[in-house]
Chains A and B, each alone.
Chain A
């Protein structure tokens, strides 16, 4: 069976123009159905299954096994907790459930650092599925999830357009979209937006990112490496070009995922909103990889602040928020992977958020007369942008290659 799956052609998500041709043809009947006010659930399940299969067959066949086991495991956890929560609400049970839900990703992220190769449990998209599952458990505890069954949960987890790299949706929002069919007026609006997103995505991913990823970045990396295992001006070029690559690749991908979701009548949240015009680092995280940073904000930052306030852990509000920022961002660093550069990246961003708050307080006190002008705003943008580029250089892991040859 596995051999047969391994011999099938593999279609990675949004990889080539041909993929879009197949995908759009496959969801065309769905679109026509939605236009006439019908949601063909079974047809949708079928094509989702086929495209998921094509994503995880061929050389990735082992990942398919991991994916199936993972989804079964999370479904059992979520359904088990949901049934428990209808009658009881003990904190210990909640924490154990969350721990079990996070266990696979912890193993997958720690394994490479411990034994030097990737865990067998891993598959493309495990991080994103973890957010969906853990988020659902938290919402269940809050009592926000009123009704759920295994089939609805599985469809939320395996919603095909967003499975490998988000955007990260919330069960409550997703299931609301899924229960009802948008009005014709609304659906046409979604299709219109979807087409625009799709074409901007093409421009980002297949045109602009081609130059960043295939032409400029490799050239700069080669030059930097040729210069020796130390910093040079080429490393600066690598930092800017990597940032361009990261943005256009990921934003392009996210636009595809949102566009396809819209065609399927689901308003998956947006992931990027002109991040590089941000005037400070807090604003940056409200514009960059938004579905991730909002997840962290709601489920880590806010939870920690509420808990600490309730238990009166800190007297000083500023100390509390600073610590919450650090916990939030360092956790995000670990989530990317257990390597020094991801963790340092998280630490830097936490530190930047703390600094930003401190500066705002300082400004309020000492620069009362400082007016917000085009000049000050652009200086702020310049500083924020360059800090972000620097942090992306750390994040890229290129320094690891440059310094240590890994």
Chain B
């Protein structure tokens, strides 16, 4: 055997293997998922579903079953028997598709929505806003990276319009959160500067997106977690056969009392044991928390713009905070209510009028499952407010977007009535 033959015999199989792998990634696999996979994915609240496309776009695009996106954050993981997914399965026509976990604030949600924009067109959605998002720094780079992959970023860049103030703002945020290196960074820099992407940039994006799409189609449906089988389905039969709001409230309150026996905050026993008991320094620890000045307001604005672009009819919920907990930790409730007011002002002045404001209800028995997440009675009430909106036809929304809400001035504004009035006359009606 000559050396050349020997070399071929050694490296030939390696070359063939590399080619085959390349081929697998390049072949446009059809990414169709079974109804069972989608049912599980809808309550998996997993980053894989969140940052990919094939499962969610198939789910939201289907009429039967009718999946409604529920955007939110950690409260979606409070899966007691009154959780929207359980309630819907028992009483309603729609099925919630949950998007959100700890750290999915406005910006990750924007990239999430962008991947299923065509499917969301003229549809409905629920959006749960937590005032806790509105901290000085906004979303952290770590959380953003965890819920946002190259696929989402590149898909967004592909359709970004350098002449839109919203897209320029988003591109700037991308650079702040991810840095300016790599394909994403350098393309975002162009968009942020108002310059269009070159043909080369686009073909590079297209190439990468193709590979990522094939991987998504091939792999996203595997290993969806078992939330559905372990945390949703077994709870359905625990609810009464027929819907009765007053009955459900009473059961929820009773259940809440049963599960909050070891602490004075009215939080779930398990939560108290693992997160509060024995932890020092909690008393008065939140005295200086402030949610009034935050880049999150502008981040929320790009989300609103995205919802307006897809003409989505949205119902918003603003989350409450456990009243006993807030007293213990010294959180300034005046500040909390003003945060809710500022958010509501931003929503209403642009035509987002379906708002469930729970900011004042954190003191009701069983409304909160723990310190900042609703549960039991809260979920029952939430369902009562949201289900009619989703199950019945609604008037077509008319949104009037105003890019002044992207400004630093808005992000930093102290929302006193006078300041809000001033903002209306000098900025919005300009």
Q: Among residues 250 to 293 in chain A, which have CB atoms less than 8 Å away from a CB atom of chain B?
A: none
Complex contacts, B9 vs chain A, CB 8 Å: 192
Contact check, B14 vs A188: say whether CB atoms are below 8 A apart: no
Say yes or no: B10 contacts A184, CB within 8 Å: no
Instruction: From B10, B17, B223, give the contact of A188 (CB < 8 A).
Output: B10
Establish whether residues B3 and A195, one from each chain, have CB atoms under 8 Å apart when the complex forms: no
Within 8 A of A (CB), among B145-181: none
Question: Which B residues lie within 8 Å of A188 (CB)?
Answer: 3, 6-7, 10
Instruction: Determine whether A225 belongs to the interface, using a CB cutoff of 8 Å to chain B.
Output: no
Taking a contact as CB atoms under 8 Å apart, the answer to whether A195 and B7 are in contact is no
Is the CB–CB distance between A192 and B10 below 8 Å?
yes
CB neighbours (8 Å) of A184 from chain B are 3
| Residues of chain A from 175 to 213 with CB closer than 8 A to chain B in the complex | 184, 188, 191-192, 195, 199
How many B residues are at the interface, by size bracket? Answer: under 10
In Å, the complex CA distance between A4 and B73 comes to: 36
> Roughly how many angstroms separate A284 CA and B17 CA in the complex, as a whole number?
35
- Residue contact B14 to A195, C-beta cutoff 8 Å: yes
Residue of B nearest to A202 (CB): B17
Minimum C-beta distance from A210 to chain B (A): 10
User: CA of A184 to CA of B6 in the docked complex: distance in angstroms?
Assistant: 11
Residues of chain B with a CB closer than 8 A to A191's CB: 10
The distance in angstroms between the C-alpha atoms of A184 and B4, with both chains bound, is 12
Give complex CA distance A312, B7 in Å: 58
| CB closest residue in chain B, given A188 | B6
| Least CB separation from A194: chain B residue | B10
Query: Which partner residue on chain A sits nearest B226 by CB separation?
Result: A219
Closest Cβ of chain B to A305, distance in Å, is 44
The minimal Cβ–Cβ distance linking A13 to chain B, given in whole angstroms, is: 21
Distance in angstroms from A255 CB to nearest chain B CB is 16
Query: B7 to chain A: which residues have CB within 8 Å?
Result: 188
Q: Which of B1-39 contact A (CB under 8 A)?
A: 3, 6-7, 9-11, 14, 17
Q: Tell me the minimal C-beta distance from B354 to chain A in angstroms.
A: 40
Rounded to whole Å, the gap between the CB of B178 and the closest CB of chain A is 14
Q: How far is the CB of A240 from chain B (nearest CB, A)?
A: 21
Interchain CA distance A199-B10 in the complex, whole Å? 13
Residue of A nearest to B14 (CB): A195
Residues in A neighbouring B6, C-beta threshold 8 A: 188
**B-contact bits for A102-123, CB 8 A (1 contact / 0 none):** 0000000000000000000000
Chain B 291-329 interface 0/1 with A at a Cβ cutoff of 8 Å (1 = within): 000000000000000000000000000000000000000
Q: Which residue of B lies closest to A193 (CB)?
A: B10
Q: How far is the CA of A191 from the CA of B3 in the complex (A)?
A: 13
Question: How near does chain A come to B367, taking the closest CB pair, in angstroms?
Answer: 29
Cα–Cα distance between A195 and B9 once the two chains are bound (Å): 11
The residue on A at minimum CB distance from B17 is A199
CA of A215 to CA of B224, assembled, Å: 12
A97 to chain B, nearest CB (A): 45
With A and B bound together, what is the CA distance between A195 and B13 in angstroms?
Answer: 10
What distance in Å separates the Cβ of A233 from its nearest Cβ neighbour in chain B?
19
In the assembled complex, the CB of A214 is this many whole angstroms from the nearest CB of chain B, namely 9
- Which A-chain residue is minimally distant from B223 (CB atoms)? A215
Bound complex: CA of A191 vs CA of B7, how far in Å? 10
**Residues of A contacting B11 in the complex (Cβ-Cβ under 8 angstroms):** 195
Given contacts A188-B7, A191-B10, A195-B10, 10 further A-B contacts (CB under 8 A): A184-B3, A188-B3, A188-B6, A188-B10, A192-B9, A192-B10, A195-B11, A195-B14, A199-B17, A215-B223
Residues of A within 8 A of B (CB): 184, 188, 191-192, 195, 199, 215
Pairs A–B under 8 Å by Cβ, sample size 11? A184-B3, A188-B3, A188-B6, A188-B7, A188-B10, A191-B10, A192-B9, A192-B10, A195-B10, A195-B14, A199-B17
